[in-house]
A and B are shown apart, each in its own frame.
Chain A
Amino acid sequence: MSEIKTIALLGQPNSGKSTFFNNLTGLHQRVGNWPGKTVEQAEGEFVFDETTYKVIDLPGSYGLSANSEEEVVTRDYIQSGKADLVCILVDASQLERSLYMLADFVGIRMPVMLVLNMMDVAEAAGKKIDVAAIEKRLGVPVLGFSAAETERYPEFFKKMVSAIKTPVCLDSGSLREELVSGGELGEKTDDIISRIEAALGDFEYGVCERIWIAEKLLEKDKLICGVVRESLPFARKNAIDAILDSEEGRDGGILTGEAKYRWVSKIVRESATPKSIENVFSKWDRIATHHIKGKFLAFGIMVVSLIACMILAFPGMGIGFGMQPVLQSLVERAGNALGVWPVVISFINLVLVGGTCITICMTSFIFAIIFVFRILEEIGYMARFSYAFDNWLSRLGLQGKAIMPLFSGIGCTAGAVCGTRVLDTRGQRLLALVLLWAIPCGSKVAVVLFLASTFFGSAAPLFGIGYVALIFASFYLSSRLFGKKLVPQNERVGMIMELPPYHKPHWKMIAAMVGRSTWGIFKKALKMILMVAALFWALSYAGDGNVENTLLYKIGNAIEPVTMFFGMRWELFVSYLGGMFSKEASLGIMSTLFNHTGEAFSLVTRVAASENLGEALASTISKPEALAFLFASMFNVPCVLAMGTTYREAGSFKWLATIMGYYLALSLGLAFIGYHIGLLIF
């Protein structure tokens, strides 16, 4: 396998590109970011006929303009000429609109193959498409396809291999004719295209032909305008500026857009049944897009989804929690019978068995969330969420559909983090991740409520209300601090998006896709949890069972002067740190430290607070300290798995560290304030 070929996937949102990418590459994919950008780079590989194919999933956009970072990344990659083949995906059921991408590609000298995806949907809607006729007209390979049907991939491979063997580029002649004729605008365009071409002379830019440059100049494309300004002599530059400033030049974007659609409709008219799909704006959609009913419907669907997630996660949770005591007692008995050192038994039980079981539990919820989200997206409802909540969330700098991952954060932060993938730009995803960490998962809520009722008894509900208020305040703070950088003001444009038609979900494909990504997450999570568990175990193991002989005790005592600054004695601070591992661990540690039970810290064991923990806490800890600890717990970083998935989604350690640092500062800052206010009150 010496040869490596590179295929770039290009397509509009909803063209089925991610399904295609996932089915092509399976488990062999990496997600990172494009160098120096906050844009996700998804890359994968597959092997066919002893050749390795590298697949680059370019960020989805409607055309090749350079308005957002995503589009710039797409353009840069295409212009770099690194791909052996650019595979353009279009939605066959909306041929005319989605072929715009192809029209925008005309004039770029790169080998192209066109994939008419969702042929099954188009056929079901009564559209007949003559693939051969389109192929003949365009002169490049064209394939009628359905990316969700795995049995159709051999057809793709065959076409792809020949497209790479004999590379063909799109011919720009016919589009140029449309641009020159000006269509309905006719003479008003005053042959502006030819005039710009004349002014450009023999100027070409990498793989971009002169006609493409002329189009982009008319569209006032910042990058191309910059390139032309830098490269052309003064007189010719001025000539171009004069043309663009003229009356017909000012409407350049409309002129080129019209010409491209005219070019597209000629292709479509010749090769597809002219009858367009009946407008089916159903009663259901009337409700889904209503400004009040739509929100109620969306909330209803969110609640149902969350319940569905819990049901789906239940078997995995049951296995994880059920296995733990069985395995642990088995290990203990076997170990004792064989005379294995207690330290080994402790390690196996607390780190290996405990860590594996907790990973199974947590991953099962992640699986459920990815599954449910994927279905909602596949059906087409996710876009309706966007529509319904756009007004609210755009204030924070987010898209409306961010409501889904944020809401599911109540169930499980780690899972919700994976759900942020529904957002379109990496900046949006990162901002949603920042907000998401403030939303308490079920376990965190339980811990906070336990602490509040232990220390403040009947005043606990007040803390609940205060907590909610603080969360919303933190949203405001986070969007202020991070919003500007992650979602720049000039990219915050009003909603212009497509509400895709509803589709039947392809269950088999979704299950395979979700299974694959869950397995990937499980493997990574397991590694990480075992590592962290081993670390905590080493810190907290005492051969004689005496807490005072643990490393943690020594470290804790040494740093107490610092932690008291935030109002936390070392035991509480260590519990706070334990809360970063899992929320239950925080209670487990307190149980050990305050009841002096003498057992090693049960970090990975799901130890519910022992019965007398409340009493022990209430009698030893003062109210101001309690307040400090409560605040610290509210905004403590989520569990280790949530950190792991955040790292995976953010694609950079720097961002994980930034978000962690932010929440450490926030929680300790609040603890400090709470403690000092508490000292004044109590």
Chain B
Amino acid sequence: MKNAEFVDRLSLTEMGENRCGTVAQIEGDSRFISRIVSIGLTPGSAFTLLKNDKRSPVLVFCRDTVIAVNHKESSQIFVKVES
């Protein structure tokens, strides 16, 4: 899963609110990966971005639940946005 595969690499924090997307790639250490995977975000999961505000954690709706992910770590999650 090389970075070059994504032409329009967009991180979760760059996405607009109320848009739908799919997780494309998650970067980070194994600890972060295991935490984010176990809460339900894996490559391929479809989600809706509920809230993207610099001052608070990003909120996504995925697998029937609202998940809050710290802003800094959200920038390590790359997504494909549905047009």
Chain A 482-508 interface 0/1 with B at a Cβ cutoff of 8 Å (1 = within): 000000000001111111110000000
Cβ-closest chain A residue relative to B47: A279
Residues of chain B within 8 A of A184, CB atoms compared:
43-44
Q: How far is the CA of A290 from the CA of B52 in the complex (A)?
A: 10
Residues of chain A within 8 A of B36, CB atoms compared:
496
Q: Confirm or deny: B26 has a beta carbon within 8 angstroms of a beta carbon on chain A.
A: yes
Residues of chain A within 8 A of B67, CB atoms compared:
496-499
Q: Confirm or deny: B59 has a beta carbon within 8 angstroms of a beta carbon on chain A.
A: yes
Q: How far is the CA of A184 from the CA of B43 in the complex (A)?
A: 10
Check A257–B61 contact: CB distance below 8 A: no
Q: Confirm or deny: A276 has a beta carbon within 8 angstroms of a beta carbon on chain B.
A: yes
Check A496–B70 contact: CB distance below 8 A: yes
Q: Confirm or deny: B3 has a beta carbon within 8 angstroms of a beta carbon on chain A.
A: no
Q: Confirm or deny: B16 has a beta carbon within 8 angstroms of a beta carbon on chain A.
A: no
Residues of chain B within 8 A of A96, CB atoms compared:
40, 63-64
Cβ-closest chain A residue relative to B2: A247
Interchain nearest-CB distance for B51 vs A (Å): 6
Q: Confirm or deny: A167 has a beta carbon within 8 angstroms of a beta carbon on chain B.
A: no
Check B65–A496 contact: CB distance below 8 A: no
Check A97–B59 contact: CB distance below 8 A: no
Most A Cβ at <10 Å: residue of B30, B44, B69, B70? B30
Binds B, one of A59-67, A413-421, A576-584, A634-642: A59-67
Which positions 33-58 of chain B face chain A at CB distance < 8 Å? 33-40, 42-45, 48, 50-51, 53, 55-57
Given contacts A67-B35, A494-B72, contact A258 B43 (CB under 8 A): yes
Q: How far is the CA of A184 from the CA of B42 in the complex (A)?
A: 12
Q: Confirm or deny: A178 has a beta carbon within 8 angstroms of a beta carbon on chain B.
A: no
Q: How far is the CA of A604 from the CA of B56 in the complex (A)?
A: 48
Q: Confirm or deny: A219 has a beta carbon within 8 angstroms of a beta carbon on chain B.
A: yes
Q: How far is the CA of A499 from the CA of B61 in the complex (A)?
A: 10
Given contacts A219-B30, A251-B1, A254-B1, contact A494 B73 (CB under 8 A): yes
Which positions 348-391 of chain A face chain B at CB distance < 8 Å? 387-388, 390-391
Q: Confirm or deny: A104 has a beta carbon within 8 angstroms of a beta carbon on chain B.
A: yes
Interchain nearest-CB distance for B22 vs A (Å): 11
Residues of chain A within 8 A of B42, CB atoms compared:
254, 257-258, 261
- Interface size range of chain A in the complex: 35 or more
Interchain nearest-CB distance for B75 vs A (Å): 11
Check A494–B66 contact: CB distance below 8 A: no
Check A254–B57 contact: CB distance below 8 A: no
Check A289–B43 contact: CB distance below 8 A: no
Interchain nearest-CB distance for B36 vs A (Å): 6
- Interface size range of chain B in the complex: 35 or more
Q: How far is the CA of A95 from the CA of B40 in the complex (A)?
A: 11
Residues of chain B within 8 A of A261, CB atoms compared:
40, 42, 45
Interchain nearest-CB distance for A108 vs B (Å): 16
Residues of chain A within 8 A of B48, CB atoms compared:
279
Residues of chain A within 8 A of B50, CB atoms compared:
279, 281
Interchain nearest-CB distance for A128 vs B (Å): 14
Contact of A493 among B32, B45, B71 (CB under 8 A): B32
Residues of chain B within 8 A of A104, CB atoms compared:
38
Q: How far is the CA of A289 from the CA of B59 in the complex (A)?
A: 9
Residues of chain B within 8 A of A527, CB atoms compared:
none
Q: How far is the CA of A100 from the CA of B63 in the complex (A)?
A: 11
Residues of chain A within 8 A of B70, CB atoms compared:
390, 493-496
Chain A 245-275 interface 0/1 with B at a Cβ cutoff of 8 Å (1 = within): 0000001111011100100000000000000
Check A281–B39 contact: CB distance below 8 A: no
Which positions 551-579 of chain A face chain B at CB distance < 8 Å? none
Q: Confirm or deny: A277 has a beta carbon within 8 angstroms of a beta carbon on chain B.
A: yes
Q: How far is the CA of A623 from the CA of B38 in the complex (A)?
A: 61
Residues of chain A within 8 A of B33, CB atoms compared:
219, 253-254, 257
Q: Confirm or deny: A291 has a beta carbon within 8 angstroms of a beta carbon on chain B.
A: yes
Residues of chain A within 8 A of B43, CB atoms compared:
184, 254, 258
Given contacts A220-B30, A253-B37, A496-B39, contact A387 B56 (CB under 8 A): yes
Chain A 78-99 interface 0/1 with B at a Cβ cutoff of 8 Å (1 = within): 0000000000000001111100
Cβ-closest chain B residue relative to A277: B64
Check B63–A387 contact: CB distance below 8 A: no
Q: How far is the CA of A152 from the CA of B40 in the complex (A)?
A: 30
Residues of chain A within 8 A of B65, CB atoms compared:
94, 97, 498-501
The interface of chain A, by Cβ under 8 A from chain B, is 61-63, 65, 67, 93-97, 100, 104, 183-185, 188, 219-221, 251-254, 256-258, 261, 276-277, 279, 281, 285-286, 289-291, 294, 387-388, 390-391, 493-501
Can you give 12 A-B contacts (C-beta < 8 A)? A62-B38, A94-B63, A96-B64, A221-B34, A256-B37, A286-B51, A289-B56, A390-B70, A497-B39, A498-B66, A498-B67, A501-B65
**Contacts beyond the supplied A61-B38, A221-B30, A281-B61: 12 A-B pairs with Cβ under 8 Å:** A67-B35, A94-B65, A104-B38, A184-B43, A185-B1, A219-B34, A254-B37, A258-B42, A290-B56, A388-B56, A390-B70, A499-B65
